[in-house]
């Protein structure tokens, strides 16, 4: 009788490498590894041999970079989704895309379970599992770090475990940052970052770029075009979204753009400190905002700010595959119909400096904005507007004045 299959979300790191023999030993599964390529680049080298040596029967390396860029990143860019004012959701956006592909591979292999190596303290366990539950509620989910059979509580223990199983792999117990990389960003946690009182060791930490202090002493000029909210060209060259992000990552990294140091509130209730590098994403979101300023009316922009914050919360909490996210995205998409035009800006030592914006759909009126009185605006009309706009404020003040005169209300009571 054939063994049951489990699909393991495989990164090639020590944790998921140790999980392969652990699954075979404790569950007698046929382990199918699945590495989802979201733009990790060199981190994917040597995975096939590593998975085979660890006891996996098969390895899938699934390239979802364009899917990630078009269907997960861009909805967040268009929404202006930023978690807690700083975090551009690099890891959060990738997890539902990975979960979807894991389910597809599980169906293809006839697997009965999906296993992940996310820890019991982080957000990723929630994101993976909510995604799997939404798309394949019949599949069993194995979270190794929460499993009572998992006793490997340190990097040293994992190294010893794989060695006992005859697996000699290039892992060491030396201290290093915990990192997550994809097309959009790279995150750094651990070491000196665990104490918020410590300054990050940027010389040791940064991967995608340099600090603003080390950026060139000259500006980098960039021109981008958008169609219906989607970026189409950089400096006149047409590109797909993923290549635009790659290009902006290079430009942003060279100019010290998109480095944030944040203490964020995890879904599980704890605070965590990390440094995120999102050079291309920071530029793309700024450029998109720059264009929207010309095109969206005041009420839509105000509503969109609220929706963007809510969208970020939903994505951060792993609720991508929900009717609520779909409804929020439907609103956002309706606002992007006329977000078409050109933006110019300069990159300089960590700054993104506007250098001009134009769009056929701009609702900016130079004649209205100027100090010269035109046909559409008479300065005297403002008096009646202010009278009505400020009426509630004036009525309240008059009422309280009356109460003060009668001795019913004292100023200290307000």
Catalytically active residues, by annotation: 15, 95, 124, 178
Strand pairing category for 230-234 and 220-227: antiparallel
Element (H or E) spanning 26, and its range? Answer: helix 14-27
| Nearest to 134, CA basis, from 177, 84, 100, 168 | 100
Q: Residues for the chain: how many in total?
A: 414
Cα 161 to Cα 146: distance, rounded to the nearest angstrom:
18
Q: Residue-wise over 250-263: b if at least 16 C-beta within 10 A, else e?
A: ebbbbbbbbbeebe
* Residues whose CB is less than 8 angstroms from the CB of residue 349 and which lie 6 or more positions away in sequence, other chains included: 212, 213, 215, 217, 255, 256
Q: DSSP 3-state assignment of 263? A: strand
Alpha-carbon gap, residue 64 to 97, rounded angstroms: 8
Q: Answer for the pair 347, 251: CB distance below 8 angstroms, yes or no.
A: yes
Q: What is the CA radius of gyration of the chain?
A: 26
Query: Is 313 within 8 Å of 82 (Cβ atoms)?
Result: no
Cα 411 from Cα 344, distance rounded (Å): 53
Beta-carbon count within 10 A of 308 CB = 18
Q: Three-state SS for 249?
A: helix
Long-range contacts of 174-178, Cβ-Cβ distance < 8 Å, separation of 24 or more:
177/205
- The distance from CA 305 to its chain's CA centroid, rounded to whole angstroms, is 17
Task: Of 78, 90, 123, give the one whose Cα is nearest residue 307.
Answer: 78
Are the beta carbons of 239 and 247 closer than 8 angstroms? yes
CA distances from 269 to 155, 260, 264, 407 (A): 25, 21, 10, 50
């Amino acid at each position: 009788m054939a063994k049951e299959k489990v699909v393991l979300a495989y990164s090639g790191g020590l944790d998921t490498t140790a999980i392969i023999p652990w699954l075979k030993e404790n569950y007698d599964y046929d382990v199918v590894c699945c590495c989802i390529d979201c733009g990790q680049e060199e981190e994917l080298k040597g995975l096939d041999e590593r998975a085979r040596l660890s006891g996996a029967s098969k390895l899938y390396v699934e390239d979802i970079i364009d899917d990630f860029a078009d269907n997960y990143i861009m909805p967040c860019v268009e929404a202006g989704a930023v978690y807690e004012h700083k975090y551009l959701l690099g890891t959060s956006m990738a997890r539902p895309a990975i979960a979807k592909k894991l389910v597809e591979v599980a169906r293809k292999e006839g697997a009965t379970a999906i296993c992940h190596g996310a820890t019991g303290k982080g957000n990723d366990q929630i994101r993976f599992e909510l995604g799997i539950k939404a798309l394949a509620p019949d599949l069993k989910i194995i979270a190794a770090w929460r499993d009572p059979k998992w006793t490997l509580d340190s990097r040293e223990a994992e190294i010893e475990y794989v060695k006992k199983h005859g697996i000699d792999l290039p892992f060491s117990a030396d201290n290093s940052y915990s990192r997550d990389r994809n097309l959009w960003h790279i995150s750094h946690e651990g070491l000196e970052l665990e104490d918020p009182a410590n300054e990050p060791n940027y010389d040791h930490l940064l991967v995608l770029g340099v600090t603003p202090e080390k950026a060139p002493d000259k500006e980098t000029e960039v021109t981008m075009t958008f169609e219906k909210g989607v970026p189409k060209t950089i400096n006149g060259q047409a590109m797909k979204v993923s290549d635009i992000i790659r290009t902006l990552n290079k430009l942003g990294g060279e100019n010290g753009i998109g480095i944030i140091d944040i203490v964020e509130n995890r879904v599980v209730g704890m605070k965590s400190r990390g440094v995120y590098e999102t050079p291309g994403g920071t530029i793309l979101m700024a450029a998109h905002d720059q264009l929207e300023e010309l095109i969206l009316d005041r009420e839509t922009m105000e509503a969109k700010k609220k929706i963007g914050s809510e969208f970020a919360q939903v994505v951060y909490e792993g609720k991508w595959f929900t009717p609520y996210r779909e409804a929020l995205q439907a609103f956002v998409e309706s606002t992007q119909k006329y977000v078409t035009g050109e933006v110019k800006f300069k990159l300089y030592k960590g700054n993104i400096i506007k250098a001009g914006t134009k769009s056929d759909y701009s609702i900016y009126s130079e004649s209205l904005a100027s100090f010269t009185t035109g046909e559409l605006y008479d300065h005297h009309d403002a008096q009646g507007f202010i009278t009505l706009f400020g009426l509630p404020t004036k009525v309240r003040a008059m009422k309280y004045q009356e109460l003060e005169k009668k001795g019913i209300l004292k100023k200290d009571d307000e």
